[in-house]
């Protein structure tokens, strides 16, 4: 499974208009491939993240080669008019995950960059933690960035049904005697500090 994430940065005063245009695109896009939409929270720069899910790379090729109808082109023009700068597009391959125990409304994403030669070991540590689960977490996924320009990278996504559940998860980690050793182990295998982002989910992938 692959997920393409397209990051849109709204121009000043265009946030609400961009959100409406992306929600329209998200709804109609589900006819071609599963779409989801989120918005960054507590971020230095506002951004919407449009995610599209594919079974394999061949499905991505077919999606990109499909004819673009008038509706899609009109939606694209509307979105373009609301942007502060060009979109950023990244591709991730899903490696492991758990089922969702509740409908997610928020997510926190952690990007980890392994030191040279430590990729497999870091992947194993992250995967073990994802499968273990944590109080308050409605679901978790581990993925690997495809052709990252700055070197290998893994992404851990934690899903939450509410911000109160995020509080519960943070409190549980503080009480978990294995959490600090996990954090230290990840740090020892990483070439850069972990990058963290919180999102509010505006539209989930269709079930």
Res 53: pLDDT? 96
Q: Identify the CA nearest to 157 among candidates 109, 197, 200.
A: 109
Contact 90, 3 (CB under 8 A): no
Contact 99, 20 (CB under 8 A): no
Q: For residue 190, what is the DSSP state?
A: B
Classify residue 124 by burial, with Cβ atoms within 10 Å: 0-12, 13-18, 19+: exposed
CA distance 156 to 150: 18
Between CA 50 and CA 57, with CA 51 as vertex, the angle to 5 degrees is: 135
Structural domains in the chain, CATH included, are 2-91 (3.30.70.100), 92-203 (3.30.70.100)
Res 31: pLDDT? 85
Say if pTM beats, i.e. exceeds, 0.85.
Answer: yes
Q: Identify the CA nearest to 152 among candidates 128, 119, 110, 192.
A: 119
CA atoms within 13 A on the CB side of 82: 22
Q: For residue 195, what is the DSSP state?
A: E
Sign of CA dihedral 172, 174, 176, 182: positive
Stretch (H or E) spanning 97: strand 88-97
Res 39: pLDDT? 97
Res 8: pLDDT? 97
Contact 28, 71 (CB under 8 A): yes
Task: State which residues of the chain have pLDDT below 50.
Answer: none
Strand partners, 140: 158
What number of H helices and E strands is found in the chain? 6, 8
Q: Identify the CA nearest to 36 among candidates 3, 77, 72, 69.
A: 3
For every residue of 21-58, DSSP letters joined together read: HHHHHHHHHTTTS-EEEEEEES-SS--EEEEEEESSHH
């Amino acid at each position: 499974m692959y997920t393409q994430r397209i990051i849109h940065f709204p121009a000043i005063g265009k946030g609400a208009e961009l959100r409406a245009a992306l929600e329209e695109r998200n709804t109609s896009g589900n006819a071609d491939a599963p779409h989801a939409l989120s918005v960054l929270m507590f971020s230095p720069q506002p951004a919407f993240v449009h995610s599209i899910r594919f079974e394999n790379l061949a499905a991505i090729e077919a999606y990109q080669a499909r004819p673009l109808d008038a509706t899609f082109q009109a939606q694209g023009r509307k979105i373009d008019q609301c942007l502060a700068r060009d979109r950023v597009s990244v591709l991730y391959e899903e490696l492991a995950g758990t089922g969702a125990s509740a409908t997610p409304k928020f997510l926190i994403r952690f990007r980890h960059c392994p030191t040279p030669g430590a990729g497999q070991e870091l992947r194993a540590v992250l995967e073990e933690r994802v499968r273990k689960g944590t109080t308050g977490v409605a679901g978790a996924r581990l993925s690997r960035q495809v052709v990252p320009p700055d070197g290998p990278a893994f992404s851990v996504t934690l899903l939450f049904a509410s911000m109160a559940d995020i509080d519960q998860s943070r409190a549980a980690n503080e009480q978990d005697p294995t959490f600090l050793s996990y954090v230290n182990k990840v740090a020892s295998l990483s070439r850069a500090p972990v990058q963290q982002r919180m999102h509010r989910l505006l539209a989930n992938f269709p079930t």
